Chain A
Amino acid sequence: MLDEPIENIFETLRTSPSVEAWVFLIRSAIGGDLDDTIDRYYGSVEDLMHTIRANSLHRVLSETTFDIGLERVVATWDPAAVNNVKSVEFMLRLITAFTPPSGFLKLFGFVANGGIFPSNDSETSGSEETVLEEFAWNALRAYFPTAPEAPDKFPAFDGYTRLLVNELQTHKGRAYACVRLLELGHFKPDGANLGEVISEHAEQVVPALLDWLLGNERRDRDSLLASLYLQCQTSKSARIAFQEALEKDGGTIELTDYRAQITIGDGTSITVPFAGELSYELTKSKEWQDLSERGYILLNEITWEETT
């Protein structure tokens, strides 16, 4: 089989899929031998694989042999030894799309040890490296799109969240880590941990949090958005960051007594009622924009559950 010209490999996989044929195809793709084909018809390496799997005359066999073949390739992959940007991107895409068992440990080890992704050109190195890092974090996310039922029984999950907590200390990774820790439930929407990160790094993390919330269709999106809004009242920079990020996405905030009316870009309107002393203070002063430090103290006493 391995002596076949590459132009026959698609047909081989369609009619008689095997682990060896998949390994050959995956290595060919990673090695750049299918770049023009991917560019012309599929747009991405994962879509090439998806399409060949879907077109197979023996679909279950095709998917099974693919899974084994990809695992075999990933298990022998050393991200530190690869210096080709496209090759790394292709592998990260495949790991994200198909989550082979070895993928998590390979990437976790690389990222945790401060591995640096390659770049082709010194002039564009910054952006290429950043995109590969984004792909790497997305690949790790694919293994834990949400927290497992019993997190303490998953050492890998514990390691992953510790890695994210460490990323909070870095300028580059802080925003992403904050989003993920909230998404995984490690940060409570109204918790002090999230509040602390927001108040210290509002300009960096608030746009990322809003982008995540507005770009996804989570069922709890509106309540999370309300909690985030309240968290952002802790400082002027956070308030401004929230408002700017919302407006950038086509949203608005309207303030009245007792509540804020947040309208997001798709037209959804969310009411954030204020409670307790804060409402009293608001009613008295009617100066929401200038709550400043007084608002900070009061808001710290409010939880989302109380307001709803």
Chain B
Amino acid sequence: MASNVLTVETRDLLGSRGSRRLRRTGKVPVVLYGLRKDNIVLLTAERALKEVLKSGARIVSLRWDNQEEMALLKDLQYDAMGREILHADFVRIAMDKRIELRVHLELKGTPVGVTEGGVLEQTLREVLVECLPTAIPDKLFADVSGLKVGDSLTLKGVSLPSGVKLVHENLDIPVAIVRKPVEEVAKPAVEEEEAAKEPEVITRKPKEGEEAEEEK
């Protein structure tokens, strides 16, 4: 598990207006909370934050004004286009306490069903696990090579490293399905005619006078 250092600064600009001004200068507003201590509002350079994200680190060491705290990246807000980072949430962690976090799930192997013409669909891409901060896995893997067409793999089939526990209550949730290929069936002309019809209108019934006009 990669660990990274992120240099941050304390900030005075608060709220949406202040945050917007910060973003214009290439900074990202950050908040640090947790472990029953006070919240601290911080800021960091967008480029530095992106580098940390690129490294894949989940536990980040935040440094500012001769202070250092270990934190877990809890949440990231992106703009509507999913391009720019708007805000980052960090939660303090104790290295000896177990934490809950979401970890990416990757499918391993080519299912038997896919070679027979099926389509592999991953229905769950992240799983909620509990582990010590020192034992956070980069990814979890599920072996799908044995799946035939119509088969599915549940959370029970996810291989977990030692010290990592699944938090999901229901372990029967499917994570991958090998679906039958859907064949395009030529539609009869009658359906095309039906499609051209207008949808049913749920409004008040027309008054008697209107009906009479329509009949004319």
Q: Is A bound to B? A: no
Which residues on A are within 8 Å of B, measured CB to CB?
Answer: none
